[in-house]
Structure 1
Amino acid sequence: MTTLTLPEPIAAYFAAEHSPDALAHCFTAHAVMKDFGHTYTGINAIKVFMAEASLKYSATTVPLTIEREDGSQLVRARVSGHFPGSPTVLSYRFRLERGLIASLEVTA
């Protein structure tokens, strides 16, 4: 089995999926996160959303692939948790800036 090598802020994001405070250290101060039609701007909004999602879904994420696409890093990951259709594969489109996540869009 091949080990997937992720850029540091992306690896830190997935490693900290149940720790909103640790997740906050992955993002720029004015980061924007889009998750299925909802937009969260700034670290505090992202932390609140991630804490609520963690409690509600208890999801675990396993990155499967990564590729560069239009200046972004596109990660496909298997997500399992307490939600309809689990497990599923989602796309995470990261744009990095100075070693941190400047934007993240999560889609099916």
Structure 2
Amino acid sequence: MSPKLLSPIADYVAANARLDLDGMIETFAADAVFLDNGKRFEGHAEIRALLKEMVVELKAIFTPETVRHDGHVVVMEGPAHGDFPGSPIRFTYRVGLDGDAIKTMDVSA
């Protein structure tokens, strides 16, 4: 049984499962910030390039197993499977929302 996720996060996870780059990008605010193991990507263009290279091209699909709230941040933990060394790797996603869009996403292994 998968954990219950808020709408923009659930939409991101569903788009990721389909490797749908446009669907993933639609969930982010225009000025969103994505931190990938400490590297900063800002705005749709930078986030799109990152997701294309590190998610779509590697077929990296994240499956949240646990979800909790840490203040205003949603924390998801679970494995990502794909065509990359060490697959599957466990990741932690820390997601901040702004209304119905993802404002921040901090991903670490």
Q: TM-score, normalised by structure 2?
A: 0.90
Moved more, 92-101 or 47-56: 47-56
Q: What secondary structure does 1:57 align onto?
A: coil
Q: Structure 2 regions of 5+ residues with no counterpart?
A: none
Q: Percent identity?
A: 30
Q: Which runs of 4+ in 1 moved over 6 A?
A: none
Residues 13-63 of structure 1 show CA distances to partners (whole Å, capped at 9, x for unaligned) of 111111221112101110000011211100111111101123442112211
Contact 1:19 1:51 in 2 (8 A): no
User: What does 1:47-66 align with in structure 2 at a 5 Å threshold?
Assistant: 47-66=48-67
Structure 2 CA distance, aligned partners of 1:3 and 1:41? 29
Cα RMSD of the aligned pairs, angstroms, is 1.3
- TM-score normalised by structure 1 residue count: 0.91
1:63-74 superposed matches below 5 A: 63-74=64-75
1-structure distance, mates of 2:86, 2:2: 26
- Residues of 1 paired with 2:89 and 2:25: CA distance? 25
Find out whether 1:6 has 2:5 as its counterpart: yes
